[in-house]
Structure 1
Amino acid sequence: MDSSAVIIGASGGIGGALETALVEEGVFAAVHGFARSRSGAQHLDLTDEASIAAAAAQVAKGPAPGLVIVATGVLHAGGSEPEKAMRDLDPAWLAQVHAVNAIGPALVAKHFLPLMPKSGRTVFAALSARVGSISDNVMGGWHGYRASKAALNMLVRTLAIEERRRNSSSIVVTLHPGTVDTALSKPFQGNVQPGWLFTPDRAAMQLLDVIEELRARDSGKLFDFEGKEVGF
């Protein structure tokens, strides 16, 4: 109860479920939820570094965060679909998807990792995706989403190396939540095998179970919802 937890993207399906689960568990002295759609002290826009810094300043007023989860991501927006072929590539969309999926979480790390304790077990986790694994890509398509999540994985690997120098017990990872029944996956749920479409509540509990089992040696890696490492 001497540390706090932070959820970035707390208005989303997975983020909201994570925030609720952590509050109900009562393990942390405080649970801070931030989102672009929230106002006041709970507002955080991944594309606006000033809002990230302001959120970090709010958290810094209380117990140091022992857990930070970035539960955000964009796959499609404004009626658009992920690219199916190179002819669909659009520079504006590529910039937007990288801003939200890779640059935003990196900026969260920039402002929140320094708030975490310099000793003892701490966890910084960002939601990634199996399709962000270069070695696992056998189907192609979804260029921007794949590339931005691959970039996120590399950024987190690099951040993990740096954070280990500050706290040898720190854990900095990316997590693949599986296919979750949220707005992000809604257009593609017809392709999901029976039993593999998770509710946000189930996904949140699975992710928290994986986080519970992580150790310092796991820092810098990508794990799925079953705790299995996914190769980059």
Structure 2
Amino acid sequence: MSKDAPASAVIVGASGGIGAALETALVDEGAFAAVHGFARSRSGAQHLDLLDEASIAAAAAHVAQGPAPTLVIVATGLLHEGEHGPEKALRDLDPAWLAQVHAVNAIGPALVAKHFLPIMPRSGRTVFAALSARVGSISDNRLGGWHGYRASKAALNMLIRTIAIEDRRRNDRSIVVTLHPGTVDTALSRPFQANVPAGKLFDPERAALQLLDVVEGIRVIDTGKMFDFEGVEVAF
């Protein structure tokens, strides 16, 4: 993906199923001078907690010491945790859980953009991508439910579109998008895989390669949009 000056790539959420597979795939490709993987569970220079802006800033400062990143992917998401999960009805809404889901799914990636976009090159093609979900599409919502997850991913989509407009003023070749990876066999989706059609449950390694293919194919004109794992635009 980097054909000119040495560049680096960044994966936030590198301890998760998709994030780990993305990190491995990028290292194996060998197209970048460095591949930085960050996660809340990692220590030292590889630690990044989406709920702690100082850790995000420290991670960006660490990356800035080497080749500038031309690819940043935020491969994180929160759907369920402990007794909390996607709401089936309005009566299930819990304000603390709603706040936590938005903090991880929308605010955290936006803060990553706040600190990482300024250290990306000011010229040439760059890609900043965050994993979203088709259920975050307002126009595609026909079933209801999953209030917090839907709303947080819709918020992420809006933040990314707004960030994309601003970042084009910094670099007119900047691409800022959200990506829908499909249903991937990870801890996030495991409780909800029973009704996934045959052939539509992807292992993390396949999902990572599909997403990297999409990243390779998107154009500058596509900034601010969401694309699925086949490179098809998903309407907001």
- The TM-score bracket by the shorter chain reads over 0.9
Corresponding residue of 1:221: 225
Q: Which amino acid aligns with 2:193?
A: Q
Corresponding residue of 2:143: 139
**Whole-angstrom CA distance in 1 between matches of 2:51 and 2:134:** 24
**Whole-angstrom CA distance in 1 between matches of 2:219 and 2:198:** 32
Corresponding residue of 2:103: 99
Equivalent residue of 1:191, what SS?
coil
Equivalent residue of 2:193, what SS?
helix
Q: Which amino acid aligns with 1:87?
A: R
Equivalent residue of 1:11, what SS?
coil
Equivalent residue of 2:107, what SS?
helix
Q: Contact between 2:84 and 2:97, CA under 8 Å: does it hold in 1?
A: no
Corresponding residue of 1:24: 28
Q: 1:10 aligns with which of 11, 14, 22?
A: 14
Corresponding residue of 1:71: 75
Report the CA distance between 1:224 and its aligned residue: 0.2
Q: Which amino acid aligns with 1:97?
A: V
**Whole-angstrom CA distance in 2 between matches of 1:32 and 1:165:** 26
**Whole-angstrom CA distance in 2 between matches of 1:49 and 1:168:** 27
**Whole-angstrom CA distance in 1 between matches of 2:147 and 2:41:** 27
**Whole-angstrom CA distance in 2 between matches of 1:218 and 1:108:** 20
Corresponding residue of 2:43: 39
Q: Which amino acid aligns with 2:136?
A: G
Equivalent residue of 1:223, what SS?
strand
Q: Write the mapping of 1:106-145 to structure 2, written as runs, cut at 5 A.
A: 106-145=110-149
**Whole-angstrom CA distance in 2 between matches of 1:85 and 1:13:** 29
Report the CA distance between 1:81 and its aligned residue: 2.1
Q: 2:87 aligns with which of 62, 72, 83?
A: 83
Corresponding residue of 2:183: 179
RMSD of aligned alpha carbons: 0.6
Equivalent residue of 1:6, what SS?
strand
Q: Which amino acid aligns with 1:131?
A: V
- Identical columns (%): 81
Corresponding residue of 2:172: 168
Q: Which amino acid aligns with 1:205?
A: L
Note the residue ranges of structure 2 that are not aligned, 5 or more in a row. none
Q: Which amino acid aligns with 2:124?
A: G
**Whole-angstrom CA distance in 2 between matches of 1:64 and 1:82:** 38
Report the CA distance between 1:80 and its aligned residue: 2.3
**Whole-angstrom CA distance in 1 between matches of 2:224 and 2:84:** 32
Does residue 149 in structure 1 map to residue 149 in structure 2? no
* Residues matched between the structures, number: 232
Equivalent residue of 1:31, what SS?
strand
Equivalent residue of 2:108, what SS?
helix
What TM-score, normalized by structure 1, do the two folds share?
Answer: 0.99
Report the CA distance between 1:79 and its aligned residue: 3.3
**Whole-angstrom CA distance in 1 between matches of 2:36 and 2:139:** 35
Q: After the TM superposition, which parts of structure 1 deviate over 6 Å for at least 4 consecutive aligned residues?
A: none
Q: Which amino acid aligns with 1:157?
A: R
Note the residue ranges of structure 1 that are not aligned, 5 or more in a row. none
**Whole-angstrom CA distance in 2 between matches of 1:79 and 1:183:** 15
Q: Which amino acid aligns with 2:142?
A: V
**Whole-angstrom CA distance in 2 between matches of 1:115 and 1:147:** 30
